[in-house]
């Protein structure tokens, strides 16, 4: 079907008045590139589900693409053995998130799949937990995580509470391909499904059980609770307020000041264009508030509350530790306290990704923790937890993290959990405060012990149909003609993860190992039109490590831009 035919079909079939008007405005604008981008492909369903810009079109998030995806999903579930299929549904604060969640519930109910849906927005880890707690066959979370306001998304989880495997994604995509977005999608009204019992609201019991499971992961040293901790918190207009607030109360952190402009859910994210706790801009209002109240810690969760970032005042300025640095701090804290209080398992296991800092190898060695490296994506960490559970070793899992601000210290969920991480970070800050240190000083102690490590992630955006081809060409070019040096450092080894490395699944990732124990890795994002470069450097001093990191980052960016 040609682009013109697709557009004409949508003009004829779209019944939603808002989408119909948006489509008319797009056609009348004469912007051929924007029209092409909305229709040049179907929104791709991968292991992260769907993610895209809101609006009319096959390459956009709207009630028709969500309905089509859900019809494919329930067709897949109904093809599996067994009766009485069910799924859990959660949604965040984004534009149309509740609408899309209810559409998914309507499609499930119309196809004989019972839908359990949270009665209000809740964090991503609460969906992972509910899927397992309610023994569902799948879970759906309507969220685009920390993307800008014009995005929304649709993540699918397996019965184990993990985001779906690559094979399950392929099987669901094949089922979606058989569905016509206008003629093949069955729906019943949400209210009638509620009345008839084919859709149920998830009870407060489930959320209470989730928070109790988070609290069970506490590793606080006895006596630390007596040390007060002042916190400024921002949920970045997302889902974190309820669960993070409740868990901090549970552990006795009661001096919490919330950033007022970012307290309430708002999918427009009016205070920052990119609600990502990795970015200083997103935390600036929180930092401004900190300069007034001078807390021990600024805590920021992203809109779906699976990632968390922090800022700490040190020597008159606010330092924002990276995701790698917070991961190292937490891993060391868990190892330190559990070793001291006798709760460390005999064969502890930590899990991180291939793009996370090499410093964690040193920390794991210190505490006798086995470190397992997996591909990028927390579902792979979840899969290791599942493997340990199958081997009756789930208690051996002590910590998992990825450099993009995702952390988990227990098997209660199979995704990153900012509620769990917020608890641990506050307990860690209280631990060091009781010993006369802040988290920056604690981090510096670790660098002095293990060496100075610096990491940086650089992203280059490749928008539209031409951008997708440019991303493909970039990775193909790096494979066909690998650089002999990067940033003046000789390449001594090329590792192509597409070929499968150390038993890992194939992945579109290239690693260039450089002389001097340096490294640069390239990887297309699975959720955004970007290629990312991950830079690894270390040195005897902070300045040496930083200079090496900056030089490699500039060189990597030049490679991605074709300079």
User: Any idea which residues carry the catalytic annotation?
Assistant: 145
Reduce the secondary structure of 267-299 to three states and give it as a string: CCCCCCCCCCCCCHHHHHHHHHHHHHHCCCEEE
Encoded tokens for 295:
């807390």
DSSP state at residue 315: T
Q: For residue 71, what is the DSSP state?
A: H
d(CA 166, CA 500): 14
Using CB atoms within 10 A of its CB, is residue 254 exposed (0-12), middle (13-18) or buried (19+)? exposed
For helices 323-341 and 418-433, the axis angle rounded to 10 degrees is 70
**What token pair was written down for 303?**
């809109």
Query: In which element (H, E) is residue 531 found?
Result: strand 530-539
Structure tokens given for 291: 């300069």
Alpha-carbon distances of 492 from 124, 389, 483, 539, rounded to whole Å: 41, 39, 10, 19
520's enclosing H/E stretch is strand 518-524
Residues in Cβ contact with 136 at an 8 Å cutoff, skipping those fewer than 6 apart:
86, 87, 88, 116, 130, 159
Element (H, E) at 127: helix 124-133
Per-state percent for the chain, helix, strand, coil, to nearest 5? 45, 20, 35
Q: CB count, 10 Å around CB of 208?
A: 11
Of 139, 122, 40, give the one whose Cα is nearest residue 379. 139
């Amino acid at each position: 079907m040609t682009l013109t035919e697709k557009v004409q079909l949508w003009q004829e079939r779209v019944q939603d008045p808002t989408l119909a008007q948006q489509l008319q405005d797009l056609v009348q604008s004469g912007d051929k590139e924007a029209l092409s981008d909305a229709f040049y492909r179907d929104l791709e369903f991968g292991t992260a589900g769907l993610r895209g810009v809101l609006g009319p079109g096959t390459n956009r998030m709207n009630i028709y693409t969500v309905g089509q995806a859900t019809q494919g999903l329930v067709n897949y579930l109904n093809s599996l053995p067994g009766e009485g299929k069910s799924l859990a549904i959660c949604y965040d604060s984004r534009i149309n998130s509740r609408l899309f969640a209810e559409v998914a519930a309507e499609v499930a109910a119309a196809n004989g799949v019972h839908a359990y849906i949270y009665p209000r927005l809740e964090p991503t880890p609460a969906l992972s937990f509910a899927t397992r707690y309610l023994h569902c066959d799948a879970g759906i979370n309507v969220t685009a995580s920390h993307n800008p306001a014009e995005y929304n998304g649709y993540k699918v989880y397996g019965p184990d509470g993990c985001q779906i495997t690559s094979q399950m994604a392929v099987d669901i995509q094949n089922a979606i391909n058989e569905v016509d977005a206008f003629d093949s999608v069955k729906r019943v009204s949400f209210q009638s499904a509620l009345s008839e019992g084919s859709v149920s609201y998830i009870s407060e019991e489930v959320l209470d059980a989730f928070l109790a499971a988070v609290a069970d992961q506490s590793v606080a040293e006895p006596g630390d609770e007596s040390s007060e901790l002042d916190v400024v918190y921002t949920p970045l207009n997302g889902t974190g307020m309820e669960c993070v607030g409740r868990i901090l109360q549970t552990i006795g952190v009661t001096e919490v000041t919330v950033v007022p402009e970012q307290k309430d859910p708002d999918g427009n994210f009016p205070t920052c264009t990119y609600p990502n706790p990795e970015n200083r801009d997103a935390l600036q209002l929180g930092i401004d508030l900190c300069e007034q109240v001078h807390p021990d810690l600024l805590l920021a969760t992203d809109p779906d509350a699976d990632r968390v970032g922090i800022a700490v005042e040190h020597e008159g300025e606010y330092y924002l530790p990276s995701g790698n640095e917070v991961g190292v701090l937490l891993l060391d804290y868990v190892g330190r306290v559990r070793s001291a209080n006798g709760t460390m398992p005999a064969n502890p296991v930590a899990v991180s990704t291939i793009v996370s800092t090499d410093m964690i190898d040193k920390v794991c060695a210190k505490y006798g923790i086995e470190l397992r490296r997996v591909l990028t994506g927390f579902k792979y960490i979840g899969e290791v937890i599942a493997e340990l559970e199958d081997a009756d070793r789930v208690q051996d899992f002590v910590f998992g993290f990825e450099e993009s601000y995702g952390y988990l210290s227990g098997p209660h969920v199979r995704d990153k959990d900012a509620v769990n991480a917020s608890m641990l970070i506050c307990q860690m800050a209280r631990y060091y405060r009781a010993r006369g240190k802040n988290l920056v000083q604690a981090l510096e102690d670790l660098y002095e012990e293990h060496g100075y490590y610096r990491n940086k992630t650089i992203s280059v955006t490749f928008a539209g149909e031409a951008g997708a081809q440019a991303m493909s060409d970039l990775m193909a070019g790096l494979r066909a003609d690998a650089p002999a040096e990067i940033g003046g450092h000789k390449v001594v080894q090329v590792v192509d993860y597409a070929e499968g490395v150390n038993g890992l699944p194939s992945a579109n990732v290239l690693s260039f190992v450089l002389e001097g124990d340096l490294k640069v890795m390239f990887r297309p994002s699975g959720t955004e039109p970007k290629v990312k470069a991950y830079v690894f450097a270390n040195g005897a001093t902070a300045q040496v490590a930083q200079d090496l990191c900056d030089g490699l980052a500039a060189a990597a960016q030049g490679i991605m831009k074709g300079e």
